[in-house]
């Protein structure tokens, strides 16, 4: 359910703000508002503006090791990936980005910390 994903993401950004003293790079983490329900007219306008199905939810534009940055697809603990999302994650990984899917706040926090500490 989208509401659960929203809550997981809000918890993640609250955590990131609280940890930005230890990890200043977290202040660069941002949400890509590519999803959501829209009426047909608005969806068509957004598509013309460059919205693309499957783009991950979050981006941390901080290089680490061999990676240019980290993309995160955040799902609720019971969420599922779409084929579009799988394709984007695969293409981004092939292009030199760390790209992961995280089921819930705890996994997202873990993977972001692992990325920042060079463990991904």
Q: What is the pLDDT of residues 2-39, one digit of tens each?
A: 458 899 999 999 999 999 999 999 999 999 987 667 78
Taking each helix axis from N to C end, the angle separating 2-19 and 105-116, rounded to the nearest 10 degrees, works out to 40
pLDDT tier for residue 42 given thresholds of 50, 70 and 90: confident
State what percent of residues in the chain have pLDDT above 70.
Answer: 96
Residue of higher predicted confidence among 120 and 9: 9
Work out whether the CA dihedral 50, 68, 26, 14 comes out positive or negative. positive
How far is residue 95's CA from residue 109's CA, in Å, rounded to a whole number?
Answer: 23
pTM of the full structure: 0.90
The per-residue pLDDT of the chain, averaged, comes to 92
The CA-atom distances, in angstroms, between 97 and each of 5, 41, 49, 83 are: 23, 33, 24, 19
């Amino acid at each position: 359910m989208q509401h659960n994903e929203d809550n997981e993401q809000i918890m993640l950004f609250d955590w990131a703000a609280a940890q930005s003293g230890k990890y200043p790079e977290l202040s660069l983490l941002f949400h890509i508002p590519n999803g959501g329900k829209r009426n047909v007219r608005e969806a068509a306008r957004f598509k013309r503006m460059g919205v693309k199905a499957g783009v991950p939810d979050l981006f941390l534009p901080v290089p680490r090791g061999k990676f240019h940055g980290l993309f995160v697809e955040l799902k609720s603990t019971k969420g599922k990936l779409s084929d579009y999302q799988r394709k984007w994650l695969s293409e981004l990984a092939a292009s030199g980005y760390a790209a992961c899917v995280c089921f819930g706040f705890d996994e997202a926090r873990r993977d972001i910390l692992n990325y920042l500490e060079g463990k991904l």
